[in-house]
Each structure stands twice: as C-alpha cells, then as structure tokens.
Amino acid sequence: QLQLAEFEGGSVQAGGSLRLSCAVSGFTSGYSSSGYCMGWFREAPGKEREGVAGIYGGRSYYADPVKGRFTISQDTAKKTLYLEMNNLTPEDSAKYYCAAAAPLCSGPSSWHEYNYWGQGVQVTVSS
C-alpha cells in the first residue's frame, strides 16, 4: 500500500516561487522512476481536480497552464517527489495533491490512472 505525504506548501506573492515535496513510502519493489507514474494535481474551490505535472520512466509532462513555470522531479534515494513552482499567479492558488499511478501506468499524463493520493497542501498566491 503506497503512502504519500505532502509538505512545504504555503503562501507567496504573485511572481514568487514555492517548492512542494512529497514523501513516498510503501513501494514493494523500491522507489524508482520505472513502473509507477508520479504526479501532482491541484484543486481550486469550485473547480475540478486537474493534473498539473507527471513523471514516468524519465519522461515528464506538464499541463499547459504551468508549462515553462513548474518542474517536477524526484529523488529516488530520498523517496521524495518535488514540484518546483516559479512565477506563480493567483490562478495557481489551490490545494495541491501528490499522486501515484500503480502498479501500472500508461504515461505521466494518464490522469485517470492515478489511484494513490496524499492529503494535500494549500498553496495561496496573492496579487
């Protein structure tokens, strides 16, 4: 059973940066970049949860609203997934969730396959 725990959310002014982290545990075969998709989603009040970024087998994918501003990465030794967010805007304000698609994944943007979730962290960007 995978367990995901996000931390390091927070508040920032528009144009600022934040880094989200997600501690991952419970992989039976060890945390690695192969076999599982790892990703970040966000959900703003009144909106549906949307995929933001995913990573799988060394490939990463970004949703159009964050392309060029957000970077997803992972440290397999630390079993941690990261989301570096730059040039933030108020439209990026949402609760951000770390997620995994396991045991199989078609690709990092196969949002419907993500089946493990963290509890979420709030990101607030003020204008």
CA distance 32 to 10: 28
Amino acid identity, residue 104? L
Which pLDDT belongs to residue 33?
Answer: 47
Token pair listed for 43 = 């959900």
Asked if 78 and 24 count as a contact pair (C-beta separation under 8 A), the reply is no
Token pair listed for 122 = 């709030």
CA distance 116 to 127: 33
Q: What is the pLDDT along the chain (127 residues), one digit of tens a residue?
A: 889 998 888 999 999 999 999 999 887 665 554 568 999 999 999 999 999 999 987 789 999 999 999 999 998 888 899 999 999 999 999 999 999 998 878 888 999 999 999 999 999 999 9
Which pLDDT belongs to residue 76?
Answer: 83
CA distance 42 to 55: 16
CA distance 50 to 65: 11
Which pLDDT belongs to residue 31?
Answer: 59
Distances (CA, A) of 71 to 9, 54, 103, 123: 15, 10, 24, 16
